[in-house]
């Protein structure tokens, strides 16, 4: 992997990127927190992430969910317990390993995720309404590239 260019301009730009990403992360977390709290007052934004993973990928083991979001199994287990308590997920037997369980969305969970996704889309549509399609596509391209470069290495 090549080393980044060593220049004052590069370093200054990198500091700006780091600051903007921190601000972006905090604002995104605040938006997710608001959406999650609308669903249930004790629901953490991380639980919303778990719901979206289950929505997109189907039933998963708790250990797989923990690995996907990059947190420990106990943290995910607590969120899953709350989601199960409020009827958004259910545990079911793993068809390939009778000792294990999968976590799956319930019909109510699927409905809530669809509602939250629509509200999240509306949130961004309102705030980015002044952007044209070309700018949004360019932002998406840069974010995709950033996510690829920041992905954990094997």
Q: What is the count of structural domains for the chain? A: 1
> Domain for residue 2, yes or no?
no
> Domain for residue 13, yes or no?
no
User: What pLDDT band is residue 102 in, cutting at 50, 70 and 90?
Assistant: very high
> Domain for residue 3, yes or no?
no
> Domain for residue 125, yes or no?
yes
> Domain for residue 140, yes or no?
yes
> Domain for residue 8, yes or no?
no
Note down the domain range covering 129: 23-150
User: What pLDDT band is residue 128 in, cutting at 50, 70 and 90?
Assistant: very high
SS3 readout for the chain: CCCCCCCHHHHHHHHHHHHHHHHHHHHHHHHHHHHHHHHCCCCCHHHHHHHHHHHHHCCECHHHHHHHHCCCHHHHHHHHHHHHHCCCEEEEEECCEEEEEEEEECHHHHHHHHHHHHHHHHHHHHHCCCCCHHHHHHHHHHHHHHHHHHCCCC
The pLDDT of residue 41 is: 75
**Mean pLDDT value of segment 109-135:** 92
Condensed to tens digits (0 to 9), the pLDDT of residues 23-79 reads 998 888 787 777 767 767 777 777 888 999 999 999 999 999 998 888 889 989 999
> Domain for residue 88, yes or no?
yes
User: What pLDDT band is residue 120 in, cutting at 50, 70 and 90?
Assistant: confident
Residue 16 has pLDDT above 90, yes or no: yes
Query: Residue 84 belongs to a domain with what CATH number?
Result: 1.10.10.10
> Domain for residue 145, yes or no?
yes
């Amino acid at each position: 992997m090549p080393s980044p260019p060593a220049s004052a301009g590069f370093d200054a730009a990198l500091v700006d990127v780091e600051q903007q990403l921190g601000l972006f992360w905090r604002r995104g977390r605040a938006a997710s927190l608001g959406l999650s709290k609308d669903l249930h007052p004790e629901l953490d934004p991380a639980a919303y992430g778990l719901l979206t993973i289950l929505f997109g990928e189907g039933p998963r083991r708790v250990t797989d969910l923990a690995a996907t979001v990059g947190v420990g199994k106990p943290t995910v287990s607590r969120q899953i317990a709350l989601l199960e308590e409020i009827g958004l997920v259910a545990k079911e037997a793993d068809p390939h390993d009778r000792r294990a369980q999968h976590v799956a969305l319930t019909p109510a969970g699927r409905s809530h995720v669809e509602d939250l996704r629509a509200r999240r889309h509306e949130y961004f549509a309102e705030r980015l309404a002044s952007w044209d399609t070309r700018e949004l596509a360019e932002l998406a391209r840069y974010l995709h590239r950033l996510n690829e470069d920041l992905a954990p290495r094997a």
